[in-house]
């Protein structure tokens, strides 16, 4: 089977709800997608945002909306995802511009650190992330993370968002949700386990290769 036929097969399968096929698609094009985002970010924006965060947000949209793709071949998928990436980048640029206009507002240290909250989350579901096989396949895991996040229950996705993507403490999450800290800790453990299991089902590497 040619590469183009294989990709076309993944597109068809992804539209039918095959998350592994969607993860393979995103992984196949990830270097190009990320390069497109990074090339449109100036130094000031890169100091506030990580390109991986914008790409990850777009991948979440892709995972939720893949059924809406009008498939006319591999080019249709690339162009469709590129449009979603562009919209996410515009949204991020607009938000950064609004923040820059508020000269009295301090930029949180975490925003300027260059660290990616999504890549940090990926570290949470990796076992021994520094092993060579996992480093080589990290891009595949990144795309699989997007698909797995989109498939979590609302409560699990919410707790992952608050704890690992927004970086709130257990106490802050407890106050936000009106739960005890013990309940937040327990829910966080269950949410991470659900994420690990989903990534395992996608053939990813949280428990070994």
Residues 74 and 2: their CA atoms lie apart, in Å, by 13
d(CA 148, CA 59): 11
Phi, psi of 181 (to 5 degrees): -65, -35
1-108 and 116-209 have identical folds: no
pTM recorded for the entire structure: 0.74
| Cα 198 to Cα 200: distance, rounded to the nearest angstrom | 5
Could you tell me the pLDDT band of residue 127, with boundaries at 50, 70 and 90? Answer: low
Could you tell me the residue ranges of all domains in the chain? 1-108, 116-209
Distance of alpha carbon 42 from alpha carbon 61, whole angstroms: 24
Could you tell me which CATH number the domain at 116-209 has? 1.10.10.10
More confident: 112 or 196:
196
CATH of 1-108, one of 1.10.10.10, 1.10.1740.10, 3.20.20.70, 2.60.40.10: 1.10.1740.10
| Residue 205, CA distances (Å) to 71, 81, 123, 139, 172 in order | 30, 25, 11, 12, 31
For residue 137, the tally of other CB atoms under 10 A from its CB is 15
Of 39, 89, 88, 95, nearest in space to 62 by CA: 88
Phi and psi, residue 37, nearest 5°: -65, -50
Q: Give the range among 104-108, 162-166, 189-193 with minimum mean pLDDT.
A: 104-108
């Amino acid at each position: 089977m040619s590469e183009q036929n294989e990709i076309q097969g993944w597109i068809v399968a992804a539209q039918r709800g095959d998350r592994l096929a969607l993860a393979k698609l995103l992984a196949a094009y990830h270097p190009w997608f990320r390069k497109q985002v990074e090339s449109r970010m100036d130094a000031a924006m890169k100091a506030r945002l990580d390109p991986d965060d914008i790409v990850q947000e777009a991948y979440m949209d892709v995972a939720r909306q893949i059924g809406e793709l009008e498939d006319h071949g591999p080019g249709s998928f690339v162009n469709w995802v590129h449009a979603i990436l562009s919209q996410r980048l515009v949204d991020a640029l607009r938000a950064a511009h609004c923040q820059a206009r508020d000269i009295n507002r301090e930029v949180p240290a975490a925003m300027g650190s260059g660290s990616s909250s999504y890549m940090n989350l990926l570290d949470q579901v990796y076992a021994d992330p520094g092993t060579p096989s996992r480093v080589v396949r990290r891009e595949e895991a990144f795309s699989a993370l997007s698909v797995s996040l989109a498939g979590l229950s609302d409560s699990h996705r919410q707790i992952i968002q608050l704890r690992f993507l927004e970086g709130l403490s257990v106490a802050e999450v407890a106050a936000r949700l009106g739960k005890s800290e013990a309940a937040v800790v327990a829910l966080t453990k269950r949410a991470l386990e659900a994420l690990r299991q989903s990534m395992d089902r996608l053939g990813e590497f949280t428990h070994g290769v």
